[in-house]
Structure 1
């Protein structure tokens, strides 16, 4: 959990930090690899968890963390396979998952993402929750292949389905299912061990998060390994538990909204209290998260 708090501090500060300062901040970051199943590995460093599928066809990567970490990530991948990196999938547009795009694109990898990811990284964005403006990414960082619903790769003896599940964390979320290895990379639809950040300014919604988790649960079996966007390697039962908790808390807040309670009244009521010791220790504090859920439900109410 402490790592997630540190991640948040890095993520927020890097939105406007000078390049030199960002590089200094990452000087002590180590990229570690963990075998998951078959030819799939999970890489951790700073930012979102990375999945790597290795084999004779070439290396296949899901997400790429921050630009100053690219060399370290490439070194870690080289320790797993000698084949070149061919594809990089972006699970969504946030910089802690796409920051390495430019470096990897220039090195010859093809960047693939949902069409909304390309729309967002190619234009100026404003993240309301952090009150930060994010400048457009350079051309070499943009996805060169996009899709609207799903796409499948037959690669390294596996069948890899990339499924759009947004709007959830954002409007461009995808989960990646390695069918033969039986591994799902969830992107930021799943923060293992913390309340998940829902980026309302990027089209996310609490209802969409729950629906996206249901999609992943329908794919997963009892032994499926699940790579969360942040946090330790997980499994179906753990994902199901968080999904149920999110639904329960969503329903509590929804009932308060229906009673006409204000945003502050809902926050002051501490609807998450029962779960705060387990999920409320990260950068999404209980009050901040409750406010986001309230805002999400109010926006859904206005649309209906």
Structure 2
């Protein structure tokens, strides 16, 4: 089965109206579980000293180190006791309104398929490893769990106000590719980084990308790339600060302001940016060449 079959326009046969399906844990093959275990061992070894404490606590408290692809029912039972979230299976990428509705109601949607053994280093569409290993540990943190619920509610409003692209950038630069100032340095918490061996090292150790202080307006105007490592990473001071920026902002006038302004090109540094590290953009130049 190719990745493209997981990008759908309507719920497939057997899916509920909200696009959820049974995970059908019993259908995973021995090779599927072995792929998960290989990915887990490799990535878990990289994360101490690199991943946020909240992420590492989530891995432990949710018992994700147990061999094999996690059972969503068991995972949801543990998660519900901690933060009221649950993990629900979907057949692939779901429409924006469906995604936001699930998130606003503390349901995290996860693909129930896993990449092939020859796709260990990259898969275009998020699979169960990216969704569960990458995202779910952060859902065990009460503050970040509140942030994601608030983001889901904000997504529903962004659809009404025609500002989905701007809000999507907030998700991209925090939930997917966010850094946090922690332990006297920088740590990773974004799922696109913690689930990728190569980007784990790149985000923290390469001299190529810019690392900038988080600013809500700045982030929502900032373009990003989906086909390579990031050229800008944004660093939050704390999860509490990220949550406050989300729940204490009236997004309607903010959208009106941002929509009237041009996008900020990838890799740009503005005079008002808080520059934590100024990158060489060496990787971007090599990729372009």
TM superposition score normalised by structure 1? 0.31
| TM-score of the superposed pair, with normalisation by structure 2 | 0.32
* Greater fraction of residues in helix: 2
Select the structure with the greater relative contact order (CA < 8 A; seq sep ≥ 6): 2
